[in-house]
A and B are shown apart, each in its own frame.
Chain A
Amino acid sequence: MSVQPATGAAGFLARYDGLRDRLPGDPAPRDAAARAFRTLGLPGAAAGRREEAWKYTSLRPLADAPFHAPLSTVGADAAGLLRLAPARLVFLDGRYRPDLSNQPDGATFASFADAPTFGTLARPERDPLVALNTMLAEDGARIEIPAGVDAGVVQLASLATEAQGRSTAFHPRHAIRLGAGARLTLLETATGAGAYLHNPVTEIVLDPGAVLHHVRLADEAAGAFHLATIYAELAEGAVYDGFTLVLGARVARSEFHVRLAGADARAAINAAQLLGGTQHADVTSVVRHDAPRGTSRQAVKNVLTGRSRGVFQGRIEVARDAQKTDGYQMSQALLLSDQAEIDTKPELEIFADDVKCSHGATVGALDPEQMFYLRSRGVPEAEARAMLVHAFLTDALEAVAHEPTRAALDAAVTGWWERAGA
């Protein structure tokens, strides 16, 4: 006998009530998160309630879908796994799979299931999806790089399988910590098949002088929800260099909360979203400058076809003490169809007087003059369009230094264009 599970916030809360005593770790933060989630609900799901942080993205479709907890993934098909680096931590339907992983040298690794501790950066009391994650997190990766160590490249792979033939929801909880002067390139890949919810929360702590290159490729299945929240805190002189490429998912949101807590820290949050059909993808970022001489850079590109909708909300906050801050934010969108939509909200909130902060936004179609130039030189129309779209994305992709990763991203872009473009 199968009972249709409750949907929406009630469904998740019911799941929590059922699982509570079997979840790893201290139940106190989970109980608090459940209380917060009960109050906050799923943004956009309740009629008449509007939240500014979710102005352009509604989770109504998520609320209507029934999700099940993933069962065992042993024997699940891992054929769709992207293999970008030798050091690899693989999660199938949100569960760590040591048999598919190669633990990195120079890094300490533990799974959340084995060492279930929550960090201090996440704000479940304020962010509903983080509350949901805190409530139901079962696994995740904890990676620590000791001071002064260059740990090279590590891939953190998430693969959703259709092992159970029904929708699953998983809420991985990751924690990354780099000691003073440590370095790491972290490649996060998210792929899968079927309809599922992938709701990861990642907390990143960078000690003085640490450098993290964080490349994320979200190429989820067409029926998936990809809702990722990343918190990062940068000590003096630390560098967070993030790049996100979103191709897949029915609804995607990449939400960043980056705080420059120490002086001379640098943060980059670059992203590209390539969307078609009825896809909806949202990049939301809050960069907080709390110390002097910080630098932040954000470049977000959207390429939109079909009836897709791209969203960028970015906020730069500069506290009184963060003098000599240099903040820059750029949003560019390319609309390739009559029914695509882009919504952009670049915000500045500034309390220090000796700062340089600016943002820019542009929206437009492919430049007819450039098209004409290529066409007049004998380039077929479809190819000319592909070239121009590639060119539009180039400066975003070029920021990715790791060669195999950039090649993989390039291939993903080309593949997407072959499916969605022309």
Chain B
Amino acid sequence: MPAVTETLETVRALSDSGYKFGFETAIEMDLAPKGLTEDTIRLISARKDEPSWLLDWRLAAFAGWKKMEEPHWARVWHAPIDYQDIHYYAAPRPKAGPKSLDEVDPELLATYEKLGIPLRERAILAGVEGAGEAGAGSNVAVDAVFDSVSVATTFRATLAKSGVIFCPISEAVREHPELVRKYLGTVVPVADNFFAALNSAVFTDGSFVYIPPGVRCPMELSTYFRINARNTGQFERTLIIADAGAQVSYLEGCTAPMRDENQLHAAVVELVALDDAKIKYSTVQNWYPGDANGRGGIYNFVTKRGACRGARAHISWTQVETGSAITWKYPSCILEGDDSVGEFYSVAVTNNRQQADTGTKMIHIGRNTRSTIISKGISAGRSDNTYRGLVRIGPRATGARNHTQCDSLLIGSHCGAHTVPYIECRNPGAKIEHEATTSKIADDQLFYCRSRGLTEEDAVGLIVNGFCKEVLKELPMEFAVEAQKLLAVSLEGSVG
């Protein structure tokens, strides 16, 4: 969503809720009937024209899911979810490729405009034939996922020149079945957890990335997710493989319309880094958080995990979580390769009635594996914000290192900040350090800013940005600017 930076000025002209992406697009949709049965899965698989092995894989996941119980250990509360009251497939009605922007569904174009995507990219996203890749000024390739399906991927030809595959996963299943079969479900097994199993059964689209050996991806890759239709869930599946010595930076952005009811988002992201490969995965999550009284908003139950399979592999997760009514998300690293590195940088902001339970798992298996965890939680309003993390050092991980820093900031006296770290060590040659603090914005800091003429809200925004600096600096530049604005917007109305 880096293109959104162009509309930052509009951030000031916000609706009362402060959520600028709360529009709904009236587009003709192809909807599967509500409910989840084997028939739903067969329908999804048929719509996607999938090979039989994938249908079987989905059905096996579904059979497993039916036997699983929804997890309740996270520090979040919500009314029971009726999994039969959701459309598991929603797609914009397909049309023949338009010749120019004039022929494109104006509603779709309007959506991209509201999202702040530049006109030329809008044309590409809308699938206008011949819409320029040549002379592209942007250095970001975008894959946009609208409800259940990927609507467009830009810059594919440019990427293909260096051998990079970047396409919707449904297409990868058809075009690159050997890669998909080799890696799909190997980092997050279908029976990993309740939501991952659900996703495996019903995932509809998502992005697929393959970077061949030794290639440094020539541009940032980006996926933009939007839930649009009513009563739908979004179950995207992303698979990124960096072959030996490859490097890629991947950005993910998310928005959804404002609605009274809750919508479910249960994604799975799998990263595989082979020898010397490096994957940097950045997220700015800004799903609709619900209104000030906690009505509506997205339930964001996501499984993200990366495997450093090779020696010296490097996986870095950076996330800025400002949206969603409920966030349940633990981007993790399995450090199998010797000398591999895992990083987790997170800012999670909750306001009003939002609930976030997020953190990471660093599983050290190989020798001399290193991990860093920096988590900044900010609670305001009547929200609850929990850091939950695991650092596990296996018996073989001699020389492993971990450093964890979890800081929480409370704004106001009706919110909660919680820290639940698990530290398990089975190797004497490992070194683990963990620190956590909880505090509020110091009066003298506020006074200093106020005495220099800043309003209280601007002062809080400034101090919060300073509190999060260690994480924000890890974001690609376009994202960092966006994220800073988002922080300020998310905290509006929390002071004074």
Contacts and interface: CB of A to CB of B under 8 A. Distances in A.
Interface of A: 52, 320, 331, 333, 335-365
Contacts of A338: 395, 427-428
B114 interface: no
A364 B432 contact: yes
14 contacts: A342-B424, A343-B423, A346-B419, A348-B417, A348-B419, A349-B418, A350-B408, A352-B413, A353-B411, A360-B434, A363-B393, A363-B430, A363-B432, A364-B431
A365 B428 contact: yes
A258 to B, nearest CB: 19
Given A335-B425, A337-B428, A347-B419, A360 B413 contact: no
- Size bracket of the B interface: 35 or more
B438 A358 contact: yes
Interface string B161-179: 0000000000000000000
B416 interface: yes
Nearest to B440: A353
B426 A341 contact: yes
A350 B408 CA distance: 10
Contact of B413 (A52, A333, A335, A353): A353
Contacts of A340: 426, 428
Contacts of B493: none
6 closest residue pairs by CB, A with B = A335-B428, A353-B410, A361-B434, A363-B432, A348-B419, A344-B423
Given A353-B412, A358-B436, A343 B424 contact: yes
Interface string B430-474: 111111111110000000000000000000000000000000000
Nearest to A340: B428
Contact of B427 (A335, A355, A361): A335
Given A342-B425, A353-B415, A363-B431, A347 B420 contact: yes
Nearest to A362: B433
A357 B410 CA distance: 12
B435 A358 contact: yes
Contacts of B437: 356-358
Secondary structure of the A contact surface, majority rule: strand
Contacts of A359: 419, 434-436
Given A333-B425, A362-B432, A350 B395 contact: no
B235 to A, nearest CB: 28
Secondary structure of the B contact surface, majority rule: strand
B416 A351 contact: yes
A27 B439 CA distance: 48
A360 B420 contact: no
Given A355-B438, A358-B435, A361-B432, A350 B423 contact: no
A362 B434 contact: yes
Contacts of B425: 333, 335, 341-343, 363
Contact of A357 (B393, B428, B434, B438): B438
Given A338-B395, A348-B419, A353-B412, A364 B430 contact: yes
A305 to B, nearest CB: 10
A323 to B, nearest CB: 8
Which of A336, A346, A357, A363 has most chain B Cβ within 10 Å?
A: A363
B332 to A, nearest CB: 17
A411 to B, nearest CB: 27
Contact of B439 (A320, A335, A345, A355): A355
B57 interface: no
B421 interface: yes
A345 B423 contact: yes
B421 A360 contact: no
Interface in B25-45: none
Which of B420, B424, B428 has most chain A Cβ within 10 Å?
A: B428
Nearest to B392: A343
Given A343-B422, A345-B423, A347-B418, A336 B428 contact: yes
Contacts of A341: 424-426
B296 interface: no
B428 A349 contact: no
